[in-house]
Amino acid sequence: MVTDQGGRASEADGGPVRHIPVMLAEVLAALDPAPGKIILDGTFGAGGYTSALLDAGAEVIALDRDPTAISAGQPMVAAAGGRLKLIHSRFSELADHVPEGGLDGIVFDIGVSSMQIDEAERGFSFQRQGPLDMRMSGAGVSAADVVNRAKVSDLIRIFGFLGEEKQAGRIARAIEKRRAEQPFEKTRDLANLIETVTPRKAKDKIHPATRVFQALRIFVNDELGELAHALFAAEQALKPGGRLVVVTFHSLEDRIVKTFFQDRSGKAGGSRHLPLVTARDATFTPVGKPMVAASEEESSRNTRARSAKLRAGIRTQAPSPGTDLSIFNLPELASLARLGG
């Protein structure tokens, strides 16, 4: 089984299959699950990590903001004999679900689930026609709201920063012109416009709309903000010796995780962009190498693993220095609330 470049799981005949947990062996090695330990899976999805943690004897608290994932996971809850709690919640709100005494481990798998990609009605992919939605929770501002309501300047920033799209200006202006005549409602409608504005070249490995769709998904679900808040929450929730393991699939996400662990390393830091930071007691010590990538063997059979990066740390006894989102240098983008229907 493999996943295509859109993250959708498939078999050789092109039929969809269930989500394959990426870097499972590396995640388990970093988390060190065992009987008596309580581990939180902040991104349950199809339950790949949770299932393996249960098999290792741990108790699991699993979260997911997608109500579909919660519903699909109920048979696993029933089979776990009381060792699994599956909760509909954003992982940034994990502090609301931490037992007294804290957690022994936390794992985050950052990114969209292949199950969500496969469901055309969710609107995450232009591979299949569906509503231009992309909301993981099924509530709030949709991708269609953003495309049809945001200012051109805001669209340029969203596509340029979150999608790293070099043609962000050209695409945003084409969207503005087209939506004045007819609003965007379907995934392929938007994808076709983008392909017309920025035609695919022979050397291009991805469809011209890929980066824009990625940017819209990240923006609609506030994925970078959610990750940043979740990291701070994890620091508060872990007991001394507890382990935090994060798997990312995008450079922007990995940069946030890398920055967090560097900031919590206890070493004085800084860069040509940021002021010098005074050294303080470390709240995390590294687990193995600072970053671990998926093996060549896994990447060859699961294309979703090709961009995967794992970073992990062990919680010390030092008190948390608190929440400071400025360390991530996140961009100021349009307000989601202002774009609502």
Share of the chain above pLDDT 70, in %: 84
Q: Determine contact, residues 41/105, Cβ cutoff 8 Å.
A: no
Q: Which residues pair with 277 in a beta bridge?
A: 269
Share of the chain above pLDDT 90, in %: 68
Exposure of 81 in the CB half-sphere (CA atoms within 13 A): 4
Q: Which residues pair with 313 in a beta bridge?
A: 244, 286
Straight-line distance from the first to the last Cα atom of the chain, in angstroms, rounded to the nearest whole number = 40
108 labelled as ligand-binding?
Answer: no
Q: Determine contact, residues 178/186, Cβ cutoff 8 Å.
A: no
Backbone angles phi, psi at 267, to 5 degrees: -95, 150
Assess whether pLDDT exceeds 90 at residue 172. yes
pTM, 2 dp = 0.85
140 pLDDT tier (thresholds 50, 70, 90) = confident
Round to whole Å and give the CA distance between 301 and 304: 9
DSSP string of 106-135, one letter each residue? EEEE-S--HHHHH-GGG---SSS--BS---
Q: Which residue has the tokens 């050209």?
A: 170
Assess whether pLDDT exceeds 50 at residue 341. no
pLDDT, residue 2, reads 27
pLDDT, residue 219, reads 93
pLDDT, residue 289, reads 92
pLDDT, residue 111, reads 66
Q: Among residues 33, 25, 49, which one has the least CA distance to residue 109?
A: 49
pLDDT, residue 312, reads 98
Q: If you average pLDDT over every residue of the chain, what do you get?
A: 86
Q: What is the mean pLDDT of residues 141-153?
A: 94
Task: Provide the token pair at 154.
Answer: 């805001």
Backbone angles phi, psi at 132, to 5 degrees: -80, 80
Task: Provide the token pair at 2.
Answer: 């493999």
Which residues, other chains included, contact 203 with Cβ-Cβ below 8 Å and sequence gap of 6+? Answer: none
313 labelled as ligand-binding?
Answer: no
CB atoms within 10 A of CB 181: 6
Quick one: how many helices (H) and strands (E) in the chain?
13, 10
Could you give the domains of the chain?
24-110+224-267+280-328 (3.40.50.150), 116-220 (1.10.150.170)
259 pLDDT tier (thresholds 50, 70, 90) = very high
232 labelled as ligand-binding?
Answer: no
Task: Provide the token pair at 268.
Answer: 């004085």
Round to whole Å and give the CA distance between 139 and 135: 7
Assess whether pLDDT exceeds 60 at residue 88. yes
204 labelled as ligand-binding?
Answer: no
32 labelled as ligand-binding?
Answer: no
138 labelled as ligand-binding?
Answer: no
DSSP string of 25-41, one letter each residue? HHHHHHH---TT-EEEE
Most confident of the ranges 11-25, 135-149, 230-244: 230-244
Q: What is the mean pLDDT of residues 177-203?
A: 91
Q: What is the mean pLDDT of residues 257-281?
A: 75
pLDDT, residue 275, reads 56
Q: Among residues 250, 213, 226, 215, which one has the least CA distance to residue 66?
A: 226
pLDDT, residue 155, reads 96
In 1-81, the DSSP E strands lie at 2-3, 9-10, 38-41, 59-64
Q: What is the mean pLDDT of residues 108-128?
A: 58
337 pLDDT tier (thresholds 50, 70, 90) = low
Q: Which DSSP category does 43 fall into?
A: -
pLDDT, residue 19, reads 59
pLDDT, residue 327, reads 94
13 pLDDT tier (thresholds 50, 70, 90) = very low
Q: What is the mean pLDDT of residues 69-75?
A: 95
Round to whole Å and give the CA distance between 62 and 48: 11
98 pLDDT tier (thresholds 50, 70, 90) = very high
Q: Which residue has the tokens 């509909």?
A: 88
266 labelled as ligand-binding?
Answer: no
CB atoms within 10 A of CB 170: 15
